[in-house]
Structure 1
Amino acid sequence: MRKKDDVLEIGVLNLMHDKEDTKRRFERVLTREDCRVNLTWFYPVMHYQDREVPENVRQMSQPLDLNKVKELDAFIVTGAPLEKLDFDDVTYISELQELFDCLSTEGIEQLYVCWGAMVAANYFYGVDKYLLNQKLFGVYPQVILENSPLLEGLSDGFLAPHARYAELSCSQVREVPELSVVSVSETNHLFLAEARKERQTFLFSHLEYGRDALDKEYYRELQAHPEDAPVLAKAANYYDDPAKMTGMRFGWGKAQRHFFENWLKQAEENRFKKVCTQ
């Protein structure tokens, strides 16, 4: 067993637009009374190759350094507002791929979220991404297809938030022998996939979101693209009064709590196994 003074060292590559909120959300969901967790925040260097790194980014994170990554127990790659871009058009794609190789080679516990899950599954297993006819945006019941320790404590119908413009081909994921489709939404969109042998978890839901995150996302997109107001997706199954967009429901609180507790436990167990083999 781990000693009480041991610390689980987790790296996070923060690719989200709302970086401060993202940091607060992951700090909250990765807090456990029985496990000390230390988060180290990174940003992709190549993303800022032609411009100065913003002050808020420099204050909350450090440049991605694979030598530091190798010393970590687990690593998270967040989502990013890049679903509409081809992977090869992302300015820091080669830096991401070097990170993926490092994590895989070192046997580090990996959690890829939303776009992070798409780009990682594409790199490791060649699964294609495609644009949805309209944004998947709202809170939906999920269907459990395979047993997984990550869903311990949850049953069919648990709620989770989705917010994305693209999807991986679920049929392709099913055809990859190394991957398991663990859960999908009742709308038949991916929720969770896992590598059968590698330390890789692909979470397509923004399960780290807090109560107000979907609401904030809508108004952020509205402010950025007011011309899209007539067709901009409003979060489904989220408001007490959908017409007025009031009364935000935090229906995924239970799923959030169980999933991240289970993932931390899994990361802890992997760390213990690595220590025992050294």
Structure 2
Amino acid sequence: MPLIIPRDLIGEDVLQRENIFVIGENRAQSQDIRPIKVAIVNLMPKKEETEIQFLRMLSNTALQINIDLIRMGSHNSKNTEQEHLEKFYKTYEEIKDNKYDAMIITGAPVEKLEYENIKYWDELKSILEFAKTNVYSTMFICWAAQAALYYYYDIDSEVLDNKIFGVFEFEKLADDKILKGFDDEFLVPHSRHTYVREEEVRKHSDLKILASREDTGVGLVTTEDNRFIFSFGHWEYDKETLHNEYIRDLSKGLKINLPKNYYKNNNPKDGITIKWRTSGNLFFSNWLNYCVYQVTPFHIEEIEKKSVSKFGGSSLSDAKQFSKVKSIVLSEDERDIIVVSAPGKRDSKDEKVTDLLINISELKESQNKIERVLAELKEKFIENEKLIDTTVETIKNRFKNIAIDLNLDKKTFEEIENSFKDIESSQSRDFIVSRGEYLNAKLMAKYLDYEFIDAKDLINFNSRGEIDFEKSYENVREKMSKGKKFVVPGFYGRDVEGNIRTFNRGGSDFTGSIIASALNSKVYENWTDVNGVMTSDPKKDRKAETIPTLNYDEFGKIIEDGAEIYQKEAIAPVREKNIMIKILNTNNPNSQGTIVKD
């Protein structure tokens, strides 16, 4: 059946292409039926495009429909000619005394803004209030659905990081006349950044959720009497609408994912498959037929007020306030739907119940996180304990195997066991790390039948963490008597409090150079795994040759360039006494090595 719209609103070629059947007002008045009066509050920027989309949907019924287009008088559209708006659109001030069988309020690209910050919010609130009294059934689309739930029921939406974008399949969650003839599952295009939770809607007994998904939130909600329809999708969308949005966002450099379940093979180059047109036509047809035409009074002036009364937390803060609310509610029979907030503040020092409940929720969430962290830490602690035990056994067996192969006495094995007991009970990193040198020196002293001297009894650090050379030299001269033979662990000494203090890696070089300097040695031999200082890395270059002699500066420069053959700090003590350094190969003792001297 036809739509009754202003002449010249849409060109004849477009009407024919879109199969929109229209008639003029004179012919409509000559027919013995009352047309349904429908207002479309168009909040979209491209109003002419949106007009066609909704008129196409409304024309697919057997009903005669009279259309009024409504715009926001408090906002000037930048994407539609002002002449078009003034010729074909009315403002709230022009329709505020009218009655309508039905009204559609479209979505709007303002969903990331706070409602109170939207320029036309006060005017839209007037229209929402108008709909309660002067419209039998109102459909709110996308953002308008969120705005209406907020205005009527104090239900807020959440702004998401990623856009809900594409064609989504919904399961029919409840039977309702607006879904009459629908399959159990149906498809709806969505394009929005906001999300309304099911649990917030279910708090209101007047509301019924017909479709919802975890990733989109509620998709379709109605009041029990179908006077309000909240549709979060866009059944009215054209084939190319989502594609155009996708290209637009890409061109702006916005973060946008490919619309889901929209392109063939999920590839824009393969084209678009329309999957929502059948359910969309049925949805609008059911709405106009079952929710409007069959229940709206013949005399439109008799439309009863859709009364929704919302009482805030301050109005319900205690029993006394409840009593006041009851008196207000019962003073008028029309107050048939009451929306309440949680108890608010009773005085300036009080707290709102919702804030306290939020605090409980946040504390519980924090507790859950702490429990998870504690469980993870406990698991990690047990794992580390096992790893410590395994690693201790690995190192201990390595020393024991050396002792076995060297046929060392039973006392040596006792010393190994005692050292690892000390490691297990210690929390000092320096002490634990130093035990490798300590035990190796113990084994070597036994094997050579030399005397063992602990490095902590020779090398001292001062209060600044620097080596106290004077004290260290004094210790060496005092404890290392001439004519005796000693094995000393490298890499560590002791601090002013008597605790083990390690050098940097390679610190055994430093230990040797300090002892050599203290004893005024003629030569300091440093045995390693290469034939002295090489011209290049022998592991990478077979042609690498040994450098026979270097002075201290040349030696220091080679170390600075990355050679890991000697610790640079260990040069100074021997250089000070002009002690020759020999770099020799343990695996090739006959090699001449490299001599370092000035």
Scaled by the length of structure 2, what TM-score is found?
A: 0.43
* 2:208 equivalent in structure 1: 180
Q: Which moved more, 1:111-120 or 1:159-168?
A: 159-168
Aligned to 1:249: 273
Matched, 1:25 2:53: yes
Query: Which residue, out of 229, 238, 246, partners 1:218?
Result: 246
- Asked if 1:268 is matched to 2:296, the reply is no
1:270 offset after TM fit, Å? 2.8
Q: 1:121 aligns with which of 141, 144, 149?
A: 149
Q: CA deviation at 1:155?
A: 2.0
Q: Which shows bigger deviation, 56-65 or 75-84?
A: 56-65
Aligned to 1:234: 258
Residue 35 of structure 2 is matched in structure 1 by 7
The separation in 2 between residues aligned to 1:275 and 1:89, in whole angstroms, is 35
> 2:117 is matched with which residue?
89
* C-alpha contact 2:37 2:102 (8 A) present in aligned 1: yes
Q: Deviations over 1:87-114 (max 9, x none)?
A: 1111111111111111102352100000
Q: Distance in 1 between matches of 2:158 and 2:89?
A: 31
Separation in 1 of the partners of 2:272 and 2:257? 16
Tell me the CA shift for residue 262 of structure 1. Answer: 0.3
Q: How does 1:31-110 map to 2 (within 5 A)?
A: 31-48=59-76, 54-65=82-93, 67-68=95-96, 70-110=98-138
The CA deviation at 1:129 is 1.1
Q: Partners in 2 of 1:30 and 1:258 — Cα distance?
A: 10
CA distance in 2, matches of 1:4, 1:169: 46
**CA, structure 1 residues 245+54, in 2 after alignment: closer, same or farther (shift >3 Å)?**
farther
Cα distance in 1 for partners of 2:257, 2:97 equals: 37
Structure with greater strand percent: 1
Asked if the contact 1:146/1:182 (under 8 Å) is kept, the reply is: yes
Contact 1:70 1:103 in 2 (8 A): no
1:242 positional shift:
2.7
Paired residues of 1:66 and 1:99 also in contact (CA < 8 A)? no
Q: Deviations over 1:193-237 (max 9, x none)?
A: 0112461000000111121211122223334x2x22xx3222111
Q: 2:167 aligns with which of 139, 147, 153?
A: 139
**2:102–2:135 contact (8 Å) kept in structure 1:** no
TM-superposed deviation, 1:72:
1.7
Deviation at 1:30, TM superposition (A): 0.2
AA in 1 matched with 2:275: G
Identity of aligned residues (%): 27
- Any gaps of 5 or more consecutive residues in structure 1? none
Give the distance between the partners of 1:69 and 1:195, measured in 2 at CA: 25
In structure 2, how many angstroms separate the alpha carbons of the residues matched to 1:69 and 1:114?
27
User: Counterpart of 2:186 in structure 1: which amino acid?
Assistant: F
| CA pair 106-157 structure 1, distance change in 2 beyond 3 A | same
RMSD over aligned CA atoms reads: 2.4
Indicate if the aligned counterparts of 1:44 and 1:64 stay in contact, CA closer than 8 A.
yes
1:166 Cα deviation after fit = 0.6
**After the TM superposition, which segments of 4 or more aligned residues of structure 1 sit over 6 Å from their partners?**
none
Which fold has the larger relative contact order, with Cα–Cα distance below 8 Å and residues 6 or more apart in sequence? 1
Report matched runs for 1:147-166 at 5 Å: 147-166=175-194
Q: Secondary structure at the match of 1:263?
A: helix
Q: What runs of 5+ residues in structure 2 fail to find an aligned partner? A: 1-30, 304-598
Amino acid at match of 1:269: Q
Cα deviation for residue 64 of structure 1 reads 2.4
Q: Structure 2 CA distance, aligned partners of 1:274 and 1:197?
A: 20
Q: CA deviation at 1:82?
A: 0.9
Q: Quick one: which of 191, 198, 215 aligns to 1:170?
A: 198
Matches of 2:33 and 2:299, distance apart in 1: 18
Q: Identify if the C-alpha distance between structure 1 residues 197 and 271 changes in structure 2 by more than 3 Å, giving closer, same or farther.
A: closer
| Aligned counterparts of 1:185 and 1:55: Cα–Cα separation in 2 | 42
* Aligned match of 1:258: 282
CA shift in 2, pair 1:122/1:23, >3 Å: same
Tell which structure's C-alpha radius of gyration is larger. 2
The answer to whether the Cα contact below 8 Å between 2:197 and 2:217 also exists between their aligned partners in 1 is no
Instruction: Return the alpha-carbon distance in structure 2 between the equivalents of residues 128 and 243 of structure 1.
Output: 35
Question: What is the CA distance between 1:11 and its match in structure 2?
Answer: 0.3
Q: Which amino acid aligns with 1:272?
A: P
CA contact (8 A) 1:143 1:186 kept: no
SS at match of 2:296: helix
CA distance in 2, matches of 1:221, 1:59: 32
